[in-house]
Chains A and B, each alone.
Chain A
Amino acid sequence: MLVEFDQIQKAQSGDGVAFNQVVVAYRKRILGTIARLIGRPEDVEDVAQEVFLRLYYSLDQLRTPEVFEPWLYRLTVNASYDYLRKQRRRNEARMSDLSEQQVMMADAAAGGRISNEEHRQKQVKDLVESLLDSVSEQDRILLTLKEVEGLSLKELEKIYGVNENALKVRLFRARQRVLNAFEANQKARTAKPAEPKS
């Protein structure tokens, strides 16, 4: 826990200062999780604020401060899921819809200002995000929490409120789909003919 139980209890009773302290303690972690869940840096703060907004209005429903963290993760999962669903509905791939970071990277690449390391990091990011796009929003979030955030099955059980076996089955299927997409991607890469030399 990043904050004391009594701070959460004070926030529950409407203490604005205590709520502020709770937000300050958790915001960086939540921002990081959302950044990896949604993959669009320019919208991370907006989704994080939605999480804390929901926290503010539902804090009185929290029965015990011990379950605060899984509960905050559940709010994060729900807000990220809502965001991803809206994004998928748009389903546009125009330049104006690319993330700011992607545009900056494209500009930098065009100007030859991007280093090899940055280029490799961009490739990893793009590859993982395209792999995660091959599964549903729910599976993307579940897989990211397990594989990227490193949450245990017990923690996921508390967040989702379903038993471990059901989670294992969902994770297995999601990972299998991502693995298939990964294999297809690797095959396509190796099968790609070399560019003719000028």
Chain B
Amino acid sequence: MEHPDNNPRNDELGALFAEYKSVVRDPEPSANFMPQLWRRIEARQNTLFRVKRISQMFVAAAAAICILFATMLAVPNRAEVSSSYVDVLAQAYPTENLASHGILLDEADGK
């Protein structure tokens, strides 16, 4: 690749860029510049405020749901199991049904 410094067009391009700056001068700001800027700042502020309020409401709602679930988990279940494991098994498989499963109880064992 040829180095731009070796290119005869390089100075011409430099001059063209310099001329471009003098052609496109710094424009004068319009009388409306500052009022419009402040309007935009205030509009953005209002939007930010609204977003903040919505997010605060969302966080509050999420916190309330969390507390509700935590309370539901913390309160003990009223239908507590009062019988033992063996009692539950005996209830589920009454003696008369055990024979159909091939389990025969000794007379001595009784129940």
Q: Please give the residue numbers on chain A whose beta carbons come within 8 Å of chain B beta carbons, in ascending order.
A: 20, 23-24, 27-29, 31-32, 35-36, 39, 41, 44-45, 48-49, 52-53, 56-57, 121, 124-125, 127-128, 131, 147-150, 172, 175-176, 178-179, 182-183, 186
Asked whether B26 lies within 8 Å of A28 as measured between CB atoms, the reply is yes
Q: Shortest Cβ distance from B2 into chain A, in angstroms? A: 8
Asked whether A147 lies within 8 Å of B17 as measured between CB atoms, the reply is yes
Given A175-B4, A179-B10, A183-B9: A124 in contact with B33 (beta carbons within 8 A): no
- Which one of B4, B13, B20, B27 lies within 8 Å of A125 (CB-CB)? B20
By secondary structure, the A interface counts as helix
Q: Please give the residue numbers on chain B whose beta carbons come within 8 Å of chain A beta carbons, in ascending order.
A: 1-2, 4, 7, 9-10, 12-14, 16-21, 23-30, 33-34, 36-37, 40-41, 44
Asked whether B23 lies within 8 Å of A121 as measured between CB atoms, the reply is yes
Given A23-B37, A179-B4: A45 in contact with B13 (beta carbons within 8 A): no
Asked whether A45 lies within 8 Å of B30 as measured between CB atoms, the reply is yes
Given A44-B27, A183-B9: A53 in contact with B44 (beta carbons within 8 A): yes
- Which one of B16, B28, B33 lies within 8 Å of A49 (CB-CB)? B33
Closest 7 CB pairs of A and B: A32-B26, A147-B17, A128-B20, A121-B23, A36-B24, A49-B37, A148-B21
A127 to B12, CA, bound (A): 13
Q: Shortest Cβ distance from B93 into chain A, in angstroms? A: 73
Q: What are the residues of chain A within 8 A of B36 when measuring CB–CB?
A: 45, 49
24 contacts between A and B (CB under 8 A): A20-B34, A23-B37, A28-B27, A28-B28, A29-B26, A31-B26, A31-B29, A35-B26, A45-B36, A53-B41, A56-B41, A124-B19, A125-B20, A148-B17, A148-B18, A148-B20, A148-B21, A175-B4, A175-B13, A176-B4, A179-B10, A179-B13, A182-B13, A186-B9
Identify the interface centre among B10, B21, B44: most chain A CB within 10 Å of its CB.
Answer: B21
Q: What are the residues of chain B within 8 A of A44 when measuring CB–CB?
A: 27
Given A175-B4, A179-B9, A182-B13: A53 in contact with B24 (beta carbons within 8 A): no
Q: What are the residues of chain A within 8 A of B33 when measuring CB–CB?
A: 27, 45, 48-49
